[in-house]
Every structure is written in C-alpha cells, then in structure tokens.
Homo-oligomer: A and B are copies of this chain.
Amino acid sequence: MLHELPLAKVYQFIEPGPVALLTTQRPGHKPNVMTLSWHMMMEFEPPLIGCIVSGNNHSFATLEQTGEAVLAVPPASLAETVAAVGNCTGRDTDKFGVYPLTPLPAKLVGAPLVGEAIVSLECRVRDTTLAQTYNMFVLEVVRAWINPALAEAPTLHHHGYGTFVLDGETIKVKSKMR
C-alpha cells in the first residue's frame, strides 16, 4: 500500500508548509501523535527538518528519550482529526485508539507511520542544540513512504484557531530553483 519515496524528494512535501502529524513511541507504551505546523526544511539530502515541539507536549519527553519520530503529512480530508489530535494530550488520551488514524510499523524507527497520511517520514533526532532554548529539534529523515492513492491530495495550511487553507491551483513558472 505505501511505496518508498526517494529521500531527495522529501523537501517537495515539507517546503510548502503543510500541517503535519508527529508520531512517537516509548518502548512498552502505546504510540502517540501530535499536530505540528512549526517545521522547515534545513537540508535537501539527507533531508534535515527543523521542528518546534513545545516542552509542554507529551511528545517532547518521548522525542528526547527515544531520539526517533515519524513526521507525516495528512490530506485535507483529515482536517477535523488533525484539529482534534492537536487539542488533546497523549498524557491521558490514546489518540490512535480514539481517532481514525492507523499506526503502521516503520522500518528503521520505533515510532509508527500513519496509514492515512500522504507521506510518512521516518526520522532520527540529529541535533538538540536548541531544544532547551527554543524547543527545537533537528530531524534527519532516514526513510520515507508515500501513499500513491493520496499523492495528489490537497494539504492543510494552518492560519490559527482552527482556520485552515487548502491547496488550490498549481502553477508552473520558469525557474532553476530546486
């Protein structure tokens, strides 16, 4: 069902700024998932992605402890789930049990892929220099998966307080920009 995505193409999914889901898993515990919009590409290949995970989040401790996560991009059709996941905490909620998200085993990390996502990126924490000052983690994508049936699905862009803008028209401009 999921196909492997070449690491060199990862930036095409993250650079446009979609709302993302971040999954983590502590050994012996159920997996957790949070909603995340504060991320950016930092390098093409191997793909490096910076992201902010608030120290208040259950995921922060797991990310620090395990050094692993999956960053997944959900289609716009999951907007209500994405918002709901962002409004509760893994401290008291089994989010994969409550919401229509399917955790699938990853190849290289303990955190699960998301069956309903467009892409799922297996990540290892590469740098925590700014974790204490800004809650920032640098993730290295070590393996990437795409759901071909969703390859053209629109993504969500968060404008605050549950307002999302969906991908619209695609245009092509003469450019050398990678």
Residues of A within 8 A of B (CB): 11-12, 15-18, 35, 37-43, 48, 50-52, 76, 79-80, 82-83, 86-87, 127, 129-130, 133-136, 138, 154, 157-178
Contact = CB atoms under 8 A, between A and B. Distances in A.
Contacts of A11: 160
Copies in the complex: 2
A133 to B, nearest CB: 8
Given A11-B160, A50-B50, A52-B41, A16 B165 contact: yes
Main SS at interface, chain A: mixed
B134 A138 contact: yes
A159 B162 CA distance: 24
A13 to B, nearest CB: 8
Contacts of A18: 17
